[in-house]
Chain A
């Protein structure tokens, strides 16, 4: 049996899903879109699959995520819908419930957070609600694990009983819908859409479904006349009449079956906290403090752990493996492959694991307790102008540390478009691995203006990001496409179980990417630096394939001022990890130092190039995970390379002109 979990955002759906599946989810992508598909097996029922669908407000989608939910319900037609609802926000939830009855799929209404409702003195007459809606109603509390067995029992019972069609509150609307059902019935059946839902979409003007229906001109004409008649009678237009009618039914339901709670303690606390955290002038500096705290915990503490404990442990492991291999008489080339290729390459990414783990952990806690919604609220205004929402600020700020957790954080954004935008913009944030390059060059060539040069580089990165996102804004802001509408959910204590679940899931994903793509890239780089063009091993790096490649592309960099094979080789090494640039330059330049190859002008253009060029393999791998398209990832890589080249060339010309 296949169950679909449908409900508003912030109604505790994820918690419910985790409880029902015991936290074992299979995460994939919905076909054709970059929206995560979370499915799992219900505990105790091996042949029951449950799919967690993105939260929706109604069956008329406003974002790619919401479209996924609707398309799933229409095309894959699950056996039973579990409609999760926030008991303390029933009006909005029941609106969706009434819409869901139009799909003709058996459904069970799960009133989640019923413990909070009861704590506030509210109650729901489940029997009355159930008889009006024509579907079973179960009070549950996912947080406390209550009511879940009864929920599953009702799912089993309701399998073969589609819900009763709810009758609209306004007679004119009901009449119009019945007539539209008759007109659009055949077309709806051909398109595989429930007739009642099709009628509703016609009246509401949902262009997506209307185009799927492919009505003939006679049918469309008749439909338009019917809707015009109803509009005349009601004095409202079709969409308004339909929605008002549905809400009138919801109001009646709530009056008859629900006792509203007093403002709960959680609501009062939320309101008071928001006066400071969301509405006051202090909200912004407080956010800065929270971000600094996150940075300190992850890049500072966990980073320190990584550098002083985890990293050396990995190195020691590598050294042991090395000596063990030598003792067993393994060929020195294989030893080199394992130590310098595999261990070094993977090690450079693996040592990030404590940082990534800490970051994801703290971010997940903040998201669950509701603070990240406030961040999106505070930061929205500047981002709205760039076609994004305030929620993007967190991944972008994280990008200053490392793009890997930043792109991973971008995946928690609620809207598919936003996630792509944030993932595309993260590489513009100058990551911490580039800082050693900046420091080295600034100290060598701009000793008195060191801090200024580095600061200017960061600013240039941000400026490029702003320009790029303005360029990306292809639709004018005042179009029919709905802007993102967000909510400020109640503050709640985060669940440790859910957080650890999430971090575990994302860490496994990171490890999987590391051991596939990064492994291949490390071996490739090792191969190119250990062998020469005749495929015989070399000890002098100057004769390796890598150096040959560096020499081959060096003329391309002559206009930038650094057309030297050693610099180009370092840049190629930087494709695997930006930390490698300084090391490679050191090895290849040896005693002669930077001055042999750079002048202050070319140093500046080199810094601009390093700032903007293709992000490291680990970051590209994350972007690939997010976009789901190798073409888009390659495009990103190429784009940054070209942008870096152009900006660097301009920098070199301007610098040379001014001096």
Chain B
């Protein structure tokens, strides 16, 4: 399952980060490395972006970015 499908309020563990180049590097550097827990906090009223919580920091991703992140399991 990919991060853009993670329901609000649920937590997942990252298994891999797709994409290429600078986009992928930035996602990794935000703390979205394999093995990290990430929570989908909420989504904007229009459906995206999604507010995420990882490593104690909140940030937002668009669906095109979130769908590159694969999760192992959702809690």
Chain A positions near chain B (C-beta within 8 angstroms): 57-58, 60, 62, 88-92, 95, 204-207, 236, 239-240, 243-244, 247, 260, 274-275, 278-281, 283-284, 377-378, 380-382, 384, 477-478, 480-483, 485-489
Contact = CB atoms under 8 A, between A and B. Distances in A.
A380 B62 contact: yes
Given A207-B21, A260-B56, A485-B30, 18 more contacts: A62-B22, A62-B26, A89-B57, A239-B28, A244-B34, A278-B51, A279-B44, A281-B45, A380-B49, A381-B44, A480-B20, A481-B23, A482-B23, A485-B26, A486-B49, A487-B57, A487-B60, A488-B58
B35 to A, nearest CB: 8
B37 interface: no
A483 B45 contact: no
B48 A381 contact: yes
A487 B59 contact: yes
A609 B49 CA distance: 38
B6 to A, nearest CB: 15
Considering residues B24, B29, B36, B58, which has the most beta carbons from chain A within 10 angstroms of its beta carbon?
B29
Contacts, number: 125
B42 A278 contact: yes
A206 B48 contact: no
A436 to B, nearest CB: 36
7 contacts: A90-B56, A205-B21, A274-B42, A279-B45, A279-B51, A280-B45, A380-B44
Nearest to B35: A244
Interface of B: 8, 17, 20-26, 28-31, 33-36, 42-49, 51, 55-62, 64-65
A90 B58 CA distance: 12
A60 B28 CA distance: 11
Contacts of B57: 89, 91-92, 487
Contacts of B47: 381
Given A60-B25, A477-B64, A486-B60, A91 B31 contact: yes
B28 to A, nearest CB: 4
Considering residues B17, B56, B59, B60, which has the most beta carbons from chain A within 10 angstroms of its beta carbon?
B60
A377 B44 contact: yes
B28 A483 contact: no
Contact of B26 (A57, A95, A279): A57
Contacts of A240: 17, 28, 33-34
Given A92-B57, A485-B60, A247 B22 contact: no
A91 B36 CA distance: 13
Given A381-B46, A483-B62, A95 B23 contact: no
B29 A486 contact: no
B33 A283 contact: no
Contacts of A243: 25, 28-29, 33
Contacts of B26: 57-58, 60, 62, 482, 485
Given A57-B29, A247-B31, A384-B62, A239 B24 contact: yes
A91 B32 CA distance: 12
The 10 closest A-B pairs by CB, nearest first: A279-B42, A480-B21, A381-B46, A482-B23, A243-B28, A91-B55, A58-B29, A244-B33, A487-B59, A92-B57
Nearest to A248: B33
Contacts of A377: 44, 49, 51, 60
A60 B29 CA distance: 9
A477 B65 CA distance: 11
Contact of B59 (A88, A205, A207, A486): A486
B31 A283 contact: no
A481 B45 contact: no
B55 A92 contact: yes
A230 to B, nearest CB: 16
Contacts of B64: 477-478, 483
A656 B22 CA distance: 54
B56 A89 contact: yes
